[in-house]
Structure 1
Amino acid sequence: MIQQPFGRTGWQVPLLSFGAQRIVDEHHCTEEAAIDIVNTAIDRGITYFDTAPSYSDGQSEYRLGLALQDRRQQVKIATKTHDRTRDGSWRLLEASLQRLQTDYVDEWRLHNMVTFEELDRCFAEDGAVKALLEAQEQGLVKKLSISGHTNPQVLVEAIRRFDFDSALIALSALDHHIYSFAHEFVPLAREKGMGIIGMKVMALGKLGNWYEQALRYTLSLPISTSIVGMESMEQLEKNLAIAENFKPMTEQELLEFWKEIMHLATPQTLPWKAASWGGDSWYQRAL
């Protein structure tokens, strides 16, 4: 599989990376299956894994930790804090390290930054950014990151305030047209030398009928890697088949793809950009 630079970090990451949110009971994936899927992914060249304490109350982290016990040095692990305070974030990190059975994570992310108010809380004197810096100073995390699904301008402001090493952002072919991270955020992130990770590739399954085109679209963007959630060996093989034989989309292919899917660009299809989850109107940006 193609390996690409992860921004200014000096890391190399595979074109396709592993979103571990779905290797849980909630998605009908057993513990045994989860361990097999993760190990097969590593065998095939996937070395970057994304998880979070909020994924099935920590089950995602726990299972990833089980799978990686003997392979920790072969992979990069990113986990997150959804708490906006210093103390709350520290508690989350301590629990994450225990579930992951490791004494450090390669990246620690501010999870799903939606509004400017949340961003201000994170940068307050007792905010989550203080925990990120303290944990990095103590060697418990290597790199610092941020993620966002909704408003690219919130993340633009975040990376103007602080030199995050990477960002995890919504980059499906549908996201391209509504509050577009590809248009509004990626150019500045590249200018700053950040690692850029795409997510929401299949728009929660709404692009399933265009599976190959959807994945090729995101992998064709000027990013470091893209995470895809995988809950079965069949899904892993399907994603690997596309990534291992990857060819960037041509402009003509992209235009034809957009023509077929544009009717899906609605708040119901993109609930992470709706005014309320699953609502019927678009998110209104805070000023």
Structure 2
Amino acid sequence: MFQRKMSRREFIADAMTFGALAAGSTLFAGDQKLAKRVLGRTKLEVTVVSFGGLRLENPDVLSMAIDRGINLIHTSPGYAGGRSIRAFGEVMKTKRDKVFLALKEWPGNIDGSLKILNTDYVDILLPQIDRPEQVKDERMLEGFERLKKAGKIRFTGFACHTNIPAVMEAAIELGFHDVMLISYNIGNQNQLDPLIERAVKKGIGIMAMKSTGGLKRGDEQAFVAGLKWLLRNKGVHTLLIGMTTFGEVECNLRVGSGELEKAEAELLKKYLPIASASLCASCGLCDVCPKGVKVAEIMRCYEYVRRGDLDVAKEAYADLREGAPYMSCDNCGRCELSCPKGLPIVKRLREVHSLLA
């Protein structure tokens, strides 16, 4: 993976943040305690903000987040070139009993991850699923049952980045999975809220990832308000947010109770329509290319670039180039005609290829 180097200014600022917290661990505790919600039929009481390890390398950041009250954490063997899961494993040596641990991995590959994580079980196993037919894959379901009997997992679920409505429909109908980890943000919340309501009625827990889409950390007030806006849907049990620095943890903790204040709602009136209009809904309807270009997956890479995760975007795009690359595109425009938001998809495909190829 292409690793972004932390600048000297960022390093010093982060060190100062951590130093202040270490010197007075109760400094912010009173007014920033995170609310909790019950994660569906799992009955796990999870904080409304959970810790995503997509780019994590420093175990001290995870340790600090747990000390500050975040109780649901998530990683995968491939995150940060394997450095994330190793950082998690370091922290789990002393803090496994303080958290619910979620892992993105297929059932057949879990043993190696458990060893690295220094634990003999995970609370939630979430293989990645992006097609409706995968929801009822027999080998996966059998693997889940086998791992449950062996005590290696407590609950089952899946992570979904694209084709989200169709995948959710299939999972709701099947009724097997305990948890869904779905891309959910200001760009697709109106489309997904009715499906979330149905899923919750079936007892399915909802974890929302990529929730910072369309929100800018540079405007912290609007950023935190945007997260609270998403949490207005009580069926969204937790926002899984990637964190790599002490400052990011501190910012996310400001979600607090998750209740949107009147001043924050006013702030968002002008901000949200503009921010959400150009954001991909991850619906997968653009996957209609006659040349076989993986349009939805490339759009996913575009969103990674847009939010500043360039290293993640490069790795994801490199994997995609084994199939039909962007260069197969003949500008027929079918993908754009199928997009419910009318996004300039061909232009974005071209930009991604130019930047990441």
Question: What TM-score do you get using the length of structure 1 for normalisation?
Answer: 0.80
Task: Check the 8 A contact 2:162/2:284 in 1, yes or no.
Answer: yes
Give 1:284 shift: 6.7
Q: How does 1:58-73 map to 2 (within 5 A)?
A: 58-73=82-97
3-state SS in 2 of match to 1:246: coil
Query: Using a 3 Å threshold, how does the CA distance of structure 1 residues 157 and 254 change in structure 2: closer, same or farther?
Result: farther
Over the residues paired in the alignment, what is the CA RMSD in angstroms?
2.6
- Runs of at least 5 residues in structure 2 that lack an aligned partner in the other structure: 1-33, 288-294, 300-332, 340-357
Equivalent in the alignment of 1:2:
35
Which structure 2 residues correspond to residues 88-99 of structure 1 after superposition, within 5 A?
89-90=107-108, 92-99=109-116
Question: 2:56·2:80 contact (CA, 8 Å) conserved in 1?
Answer: no
Could you report, residue by residue, the CA deviation over 1:242-275 in whole angstroms, capped at 9, with x for unpaired residues? x2253236676665443232432358xx698753
User: CA separation in 2, counterparts of 1:283 and 1:21?
Assistant: 33
2:248 equivalent to 1:235: yes
Aligned sequence identity (%): 24
Partner of 1:220, secondary structure, is: coil
Q: Which has the larger radius of gyration?
A: 2
Structure showing the higher strand proportion among its residues: 1
Residue 144 in structure 1 maps to residue 156 in structure 2: yes
Distance 1:264 1:100, change over 3 A: same
CA distance in 1, matches of 2:38, 2:75: 21
Q: Which residue of 2 aligns with 1:263?
A: 277
CA deviations on 1:33-77 (whole Å, 9 max, x unpaired) are: x22111111111101001112323432211111112111111110
Question: Residues of 1 paired with 2:337 and 2:71: CA distance?
Answer: 34
Q: Provide closer, same or farther for how the CA distance between residues 143 and 256 of structure 1 changes in structure 2, counting only shifts above 3 A.
A: same
Find the counterpart in structure 1 of residue 104 from structure 2: 80
Cα distance in 1, alignment partners of residues 49 and 35 from structure 2: 9
Q: Which has the higher contact order (CA 8 A, sep 6+)?
A: 1
Contact 1:146–1:166 (Cα < 8 Å) also in 2: yes
Unaligned runs of 5+ in 1: 25-33, 84-88
Aligned residue for 1:29?
Answer: none
Q: 1:207 aligns with which of 199, 215, 221?
A: 215
Q: Which amino acid aligns with 1:61?
A: I
Give the letter for the 2:46 counterpart.
V
Q: Any conservation in 1 of the 2:114–2:120 contact (CA below 8 Å)? A: yes
Partner of 2:53: 20
Q: For each residue in 1:111-136, what CA deviation from the matched residue of structure 2 results, as whole angstroms up to 9, or x when unmatched?
A: 1x21234345xx23xx2221111101
Measure the CA separation in 2 of the matches of 1:150 and 1:220.
23
Contact 1:171 1:182 in 2 (8 A): no
Structure 1 residues 20 and 262: alpha-carbon distance in aligned structure 2, compared to 1, 3 A threshold:
closer
| Match in the other structure for 1:118 | 134
Aligned to 2:238: 225
